[in-house]
Structure 1
Amino acid sequence: MFEKLCSLRPMWYQIGKINEQVREIMRGHPEGVHFVCYSQGGLLCRGIVSSMNHNVHNFISLSSPQAGQYGNPHHQTLYRNYSVFLSHLDGSTPSPNMSEYKRNFLKLHRLVLIGGPDDDVVTPWQSSHFSFYDENENVVEMKKQKFFQDDSFGLQTLYNKKRVHIHTFPGVVHKKWYANRTVFNSAILPYLT
């Protein structure tokens, strides 16, 4: 739907258009659906599960920069002031929709985060596990992130309920995640039943 240059359209615009199709799929499957979302698609899926009343059971995020894609850690104030997407979803920027985002995110049965150190696109690769740089460019793990500690969108709640599953696979470059049989058999297939 949003291939090539169309993927540069604003994220909320893309989510609005995708939501129309997702609603139809969910209506056809009232027993629930799973999301398997790759790279930037993982951010779109996160926006969908946060912003709509959904019946997604498992959200599998495959090499997706859930805590951001590099983003200059020395200019986080600018990020918070001008980001209209990710900073609103993670609570870094106040949003009137934050309680809705959290309520919807907490409907997930499982959140599966997949990434690895040889990903040559997601920077830092640990962003696929909700970790990110501090101002000194040291990677700060998910549990030490402010959005986790504040439980701003429900990540800590899901984690404490053992509904967050983190998988790390070395030796997989970014363009190969979706085709890697080991990744599929170990970290995707078990969550599709």
Structure 2
Amino acid sequence: LPHSQGKRIPLLDVLQSLSLFLLPLFLFLLFSLYGVCVDSYKPVIIVHGIFDGPQQFQNLSRFIKKVHPGTEVTVIDLYDDLLSLQPLWKQVPDFRQSFNSIMKNAPDGVHLLCFSQGAPAMNLILSSYSTDTDYLQKVFHKTLKKNVHFICYNKLGQKVSICDYWNDPHQRLSYLRNNIFLPLLNGERPHTWRENFLQIEKLVLIGGPDDGVITPWQSSHFGFYDSSENVVEMQKQEFYLNDAFGLKTLDQRGDLVTCVHSGVKHTTWHSNFTVFRNCMEKWLT
């Protein structure tokens, strides 16, 4: 797994392979980190999304314990509620430290489930080592959409987590020059993270057309707008065609899976038992 200067990093010393699940706009991300096979279920670590905290994940915790009795489930209690607006570059080290402390007691590996912006944060933790319902729409109202780049694509804006993953298809150059987070994560700027990303064992992308927040909803499957706001599917995206961070290779390996559900709103993905049953349960062993 991810290395630093040719050495295996402490976070992942005991891990040999990894599966990852993604819901809208990195809405819901599940990493399965496997060690040796054992009869008991591996611990599950949950990372909440923007404006969330541990209490929003009580249902999901119950789902897991119901189908896999005895599973140890931990919801990370960091950057809750308004504190989730802190820049992701600031949040990541604290989440990494929390994961380290849990993983030290899990020699057989763990599963990581990350909702909303918790997913790109976790992706960054893995890659850098060698959104969100009506309340979010009120932050960036449709009438302000054309002007958000003035707010986000500068030093001050990049201190707010939402701006870290704001991708404006009409302001491509400004996005690439001034966004210090997402272009690196997507391989749109040169970096050395591709090899680390390719150590993901399985990537399952989960989303649906009725999310109500993620625009376009196909971004849950790495699709996005072109400059005319036509949706371009993942396989036609430049970063996929160039295999910028390894997504095409993962697909060609047969390790990229999509799971689409209609009728699910953004804030109900993690409390929808059908989604859990169809898209996640079998991977949590």
Q: TM-score normalised by the shorter chain: which range applies?
A: 0.7 to 0.9
Written as runs of structure 1 = structure 2, the 5 A alignment for 1:1-193 is: 1-52=78-129, 71-94=167-190, 98-99=191-192, 101-193=193-285
Q: TM-score, structure 1 length as denominator?
A: 0.85
Could you say which residue in structure 2 is the equivalent of 1:56?
none
Q: Which amino acid aligns with 1:16?
A: P
Aligned-pair CA distance for 1:7: 1.1
**Does structure 1 retain, via aligned residues, the 8 Å contact 2:103–2:109?**
yes
Aligned-pair CA distance for 1:192: 1.3
Q: Which amino acid aligns with 1:127?
A: S
Aligned-pair CA distance for 1:153: 1.1
Structure 2: state its 5+ residue gaps: 1-77, 134-163
Q: Which amino acid aligns with 2:178?
A: Y
Distance (whole Å) between structure 1 residues aligned to residue 274 and residue 284 of structure 2:
15
Distance (whole Å) between structure 1 residues aligned to residue 103 and residue 232 of structure 2:
36
Task: Pick which of 74-83 and 36-45 moved more.
Answer: 36-45
Task: Pick which of 105-114 and 69-78 moved more.
Answer: 69-78
Q: How many residues align?
A: 176
Whose helix fraction is larger, Structure 1's or Structure 2's? Answer: 1
Q: Which amino acid aligns with 2:249?
A: T
User: For residues 113-156 of structure 1, what are the alpha-carbon distances to aligned partners after superposition, in whole Å with 9 as ceiling and x for unaligned?
Assistant: 11000011111111111110000101111111111111111111
User: For residues 57-84 of structure 1, what are the alpha-carbon distances to aligned partners after superposition, in whole Å with 9 as ceiling and x for unaligned?
Assistant: xxxxxx9xxxx96632111111101111
Cα distance change of structure 1 residues 167 and 70 upon mapping to structure 2, 3 Å threshold: farther
Distance (whole Å) between structure 1 residues aligned to residue 262 and residue 129 of structure 2:
34
**Does structure 2 retain, via aligned residues, the 8 Å contact 1:69–1:127?**
no
The root-mean-square deviation of aligned C-alpha atoms, in Å, is: 1.8
Aligned-pair CA distance for 1:51: 1.8
Aligned-pair CA distance for 1:171: 0.3
Q: Which has the larger radius of gyration?
A: 2
**Does structure 1 retain, via aligned residues, the 8 Å contact 2:187–2:244?**
yes
Distance (whole Å) between structure 2 residues aligned to residue 26 and residue 172 of structure 1:
32
Distance (whole Å) between structure 2 residues aligned to residue 150 and residue 158 of structure 1:
13
User: For residues 68-112 of structure 1, what are the alpha-carbon distances to aligned partners after superposition, in whole Å with 9 as ceiling and x for unaligned?
Assistant: 966321111111011111101112123xxx22x212211111111
**Does structure 2 retain, via aligned residues, the 8 Å contact 1:114–1:168?**
yes
